[in-house]
Amino acid sequence: MDRLAVLLQHYTLSTEVFHTGQFCGQAVYDSTHGFLHLLRSGAVRVTSDRHPPLDLNEPCLLLYPRQARHVFIAPEGKAADLICSRIDLGSVAGNPIARALPDILHIPLAKMPDMKTTLDLLVAESNGNLCGRQAAMNRLSELLLIHLLRYLMNGESVSTGLLAGLADKRLAKAITAIHEQPAEAWTLEGMAEVAGMSRARFATVFRETIGCTPGTYLSAWRIDLAGKHLRHGKSVAWTADAVGYGSAAALARAFRMIRGLSPGQWLKTAE
């Protein structure tokens, strides 16, 4: 069971490293992207309307998974060593993990020793001047994101939501099965059986951990995938079959219930 593989298959992570090295003074980060900042040394103060001011003074990762204006301020007369990337986790495309992440994550590197090799390679590329340097840094930054998602899926830093569900070995079996087989005729009993739990216990634990019922999550996942297929030019009928609805009309009804629009209307807004 690979909790992350199907999500990475459907929703591509992408990063672009745009700053490496010394940082002094002040910088404003404000775009439609998310951001991943690696503080290697030194200190910075971070302000944003999404959170109280943060004073970072140890090596750490700072993740803004979605658009969030924030400002870095270095102490007067001092410099920080930073590697900064713009990121896209596929939240606009419907990636449920991207939507489940909090507005900001601040994690000291000391808590993530498994990242050391990737971090060392990223730093080495940032300090060098070999051909393909930018592409290598971008790929290593993507790998850093995968390490971070693994860390969160192991139950670190989140207690509710999809990531918490994927950290629960029983729930993860059912959630991963739903992700892998959206067209399956899932019932509550069937999902509970995959999780190795009773029907009532599964429903309760799922709702308390994920924040919605299993049926609601299944419907949202199917509609997310349907949107992806439609944007890629698949027909409504083909998409309905691929995501587990018996007909184009059934998919249209589900689409209106969840998105408030017909598939065709929604597709126009997504273009």
Residues 145, 87 within the same domain: yes
Assess whether 27 and 145 both reside in one domain.
yes
Query: What tens-digit pLDDT sequence spans the chain (271 residues)?
Result: 788 888 888 888 899 999 999 998 999 999 888 999 999 999 999 999 999 999 999 999 999 998 899 999 999 888 899 999 999 987 666 788 888 888 899 999 999 998 999 999 999 999 999 999 999 999 999 999 999 988 888 876 677 788 889 989 999 999 999 999 999 999 999 999 999 999 999 999 999 999 999 999 999 999 999 998 998 899 999 999 999 998 999 999 999 999 898 888 888 886 6
Give the model's pLDDT for residue 271.
61
Q: Which of 119, 153, 187 is the last residue of a domain?
A: 153
Same domain membership, residue 149 and residue 178: no
* Of 82, 93, 78, 75, residue with least CA distance to 60: 82
This prediction has a pTM of 0.86
221 and 113 in a common domain: no
- 129 Cβ contact list (under 8 Å, min separation 6): none
CB contact at 8 A, 255 and 262: yes
153 near 163, Cβ under 8 Å?
yes
Give the CATH number for residue 220. Answer: 1.10.10.60
DSSP string, 107-169: EEGGG-GGGHHHHHHHHHHHH---TTHHHHHHHHHHHHHHHHHHHHHTT-S-SSSHHHHHHSH
Q: What is the pLDDT of residue 92?
A: 62
* Statement to judge: residues 199 and 223 lie in one domain: yes
Nearest Cα neighbor of 153 from 121, 138, 175 is: 175
- Residues 19, 139, single domain; the answer is yes
94: left (phi over 0), alpha (psi -120 to 50) or beta: left
Q: Domains in the chain: how many in total?
A: 2
What is the span of the domain harbouring residue 62? 13-153
Q: Is 51 helix (H, G, I), strand (E, B) or coil?
A: strand
